[in-house]
Amino acid sequence: MDIGFIGLGNMGYPMSRRLIEAGHRLIVFDPRHEAMEQLVKLGAEAAKSPADVADRAETVLASLPSLDVGRKVAGGEDGIIRGNRVRRYVDLSTTGARMAIETHDVLKERGIVQIDSPVSGGVGGAEKGTLAVMVSGPRAEIEAVRPALEVIGRVFVVGERPGLAQSMKLANNFLSATAMAASSEAIAMGVKAGLDPRVMLDVINAGSGRNTATQDKFPKSILTGTFDYGFGMGLMMKDVRLFLAEAEALGIPTEVAQAVGRLWEVAHAAHGAESDFTRIAQTVEQRAGVSLRAPGTGGA
């Protein structure tokens, strides 16, 4: 299959690499030339713009960092809407339902089908091809791109209406954000009481409190002090804000989400958008006056 791929960052690069390795012909674009060059060495073809990608492939996938970038890539002056060959646009980014509907309506005017397909599973999942791939759009068009999507993960078709997959992704990421925030506070409490954080994790992960933060993020990036899990603070902040906005628009009470959002705002302000999102634990430990590092590891 000829596939266009736009956005070769932490997630986009390993996803596009897997598509090349699976035998698909890839036309890639990223404003960072070095990212394209690495994939060209693997067999991809470099494009000059999103529009150029859309001139050369019927199916265009995108993994983008922000809503503004998404708008430009889809409908901007050099966006895929200017391409002459593109038939379907598969957005792997997290944009929220309202943005997905907006993009759907813009592309529909040119006869381009929008398929929402946000993913979950982090950089590790992108590298291994084990992502959860949430998809909404016309069934026939989803089936047309399923072979490509199954290269990057397990496909979950959640409906046909524009934005449904985005709502699913926001619910997922809110739970992930909550696990990080709550686990940081719980472990800080135990450490201040005199517990070893490694022992706490062993107990939690063998019991009912286990979650993605205690199983994955804490052992890899927090106890070690490396804070290098591979997902940006700004991206998680974006997802939490999108969840809160969507919940408000739907009239859903958000007592827990509001509290979680406030802690992420504090962490975002303290560490910056480019920092790793696991640094929320640093915000908690600084407030609590404890270190969540495993004894003997040191760390930043």
Active site (catalytic) residues: 169
CB atoms within 10 A of CB 119: 24
Dist CA 40 CA 157 (whole Å): 32
* 92: DSSP letter: -
Dist CA 264 CA 177 (whole Å): 8
- Chain-centroid distance, C-alpha 102: 20
Instruction: Please provide the DSSP assignment of 276-300 as one string.
Output: BGGGHHHHHHHHHT---SPTT----
The three-class DSSP label of residue 131 is strand
What phi, psi does 45 have (nearest 5°)?
-110, 135
- The two beta strands, 45-46 and 131-136, are unpaired
Query: What's the distance, Cα to Cα, between the start and end of the chain in Å?
Result: 45
Beta bridge partners of 90: 61, 115
Dist CA 20 CA 60 (whole Å): 14
Nearest Cα to Cα of residue 170 among 87, 246, 262, 61: 246
